[in-house]
Amino acid sequence: MNRLLNFGVYCWSWIATLGVFLVVGLLLSYLLAQGLPTIGKELFFGDAPAWEAIFGQVRVWDALWPACVGTLFLVLLATLLAVPIGISSGIYLACFAPKSFKRVLSLLVELLAGTPSIVMGLFGFAFILFLRNTFFPDANTSLLLAAACLALLILPYLIFTTQAALESLSDEYRLIGPSLGFSQIQTVFHVLLPAAGRGILSGVVLSIGRAAEDTAVIMLTGVIANAGLPQGLFGKFEALPFRIFYLAAEYQTPAELDSAYGTALVLLCLTGMLYGSALALHKTLELRWNQHG
């Protein structure tokens, strides 16, 4: 009986893993089949000459380039805003917070994690309305506002993964610092954080993905279809997920729908590139810690 159960669990694990691979594989190949033929100069730059378009000397219409730049800026800005706050909060919760206070804080972070992204977008929109009616009549939705709302959205991922990575270190490992006469701050920054680096990195990667694909937040906070390249922090911008959304919703010709697949493929590659950079950054930091402290 026991052997049968073991065999059953073994088979089920295999089928489940295979299923995941199959679904991801199918999805990717469908996306590749539909999107790959559309990838080319025209998808990115339309009728505009490529080099001039890249440097913003010529305006690009009905093509991807401004949305690529928009999404890149948006994700970088949101990550820059969220990572320091998220990781610091995670450190505080794992290493410094008094027990009772920790419970309250964790509940608040869970609440934030459970907030739907459209609500974050509404919050940003309402905030701008408030500013317009009070101190800044000229305030408008913009790249900075969208990035700030996205930062709020990804904050819980960063906090949770940092906290979990730090708390999963063994008690013996935690005591190395104090037993050698390190202060608490030294223990956290020189012993615990580097060891938790891999876990924290996975949080950063997860939040990059989340920030890159979210459409609901940016729809209410500054994205528009034909903004061109982002004109600074307070300007409007284009973004890849929003472009996919409106191409898929309002396409006029089959070619336009195909270009939505192409756009999805580009978004996937862009996110992959950001993952790669996060990984490379982590490797560099790890090497530095390893050799020089």
Partner 1 sequence: MEPTRMKHQPFCIIKNLQVSFHGRTVLQKINLTLSDSGIIVLVGPSGSGKTTFLRSLNRLNEHYPGYSGSGKIELKLPGSMQDIQDIHSTDLEVTELRRQVGMVFQTPNVLPVSIAQNINLPLKLVTGLDKVEREARLIEVLQEVHLWDEVKDRLKESSSRLSGGQQQRLCLARVLALKPKVLLLDEPTASLDFKASHRIEDLLIELQDRYQIIAVSHSLRQARRIAGQILVMKEGQIEHLLKKEQFEDLEMLQKLLDEIF
Q: Given the rule CB under 8 A, which residues bind partner 1?
A: 172-176, 178-183, 186, 190-191, 194-195, 289-293
Q: What stretch of H or E contains 255?
A: helix 254-291
Nearest residue (CB) to partner 1, 127 versus 289: 289
CB burial of 42-53 (b: ≥16 within 10 Å; e: otherwise) equals ebbbbebeeeeb
Nearer CB in complex with partner 1: 60/201: 201
CB of 103 to partner 1, least distance (A): 15
Q: Least Å distance between CB 96 and partner 1?
A: 13
Q: How far is the CB of 201 from partner 1 (least distance, A)?
A: 15
Phi, psi (5° rounding) for residue 91? -65, -45
- Residue 180 or 269: the one with the smaller Cβ distance to partner 1 is 180
Q: Closest by alpha carbon to 266, among 24, 22, 45? A: 45
Give min distance, CB of 161 to partner 1, in A.
Answer: 19
Do residues 79 and 207 make contact, with C-beta atoms less than 8 angstroms apart?
Answer: yes
**Smallest distance from partner 1 to CB 176, Å:** 6
- 193 Cβ partners below 8 Å, 6+ apart? 91, 166, 200
Tokens representing 216? 């609901």
User: Closer to partner 1 at the Cβ: 88 or 179?
Assistant: 179
Nearer to partner 1, 15 or 180 (CB): 180
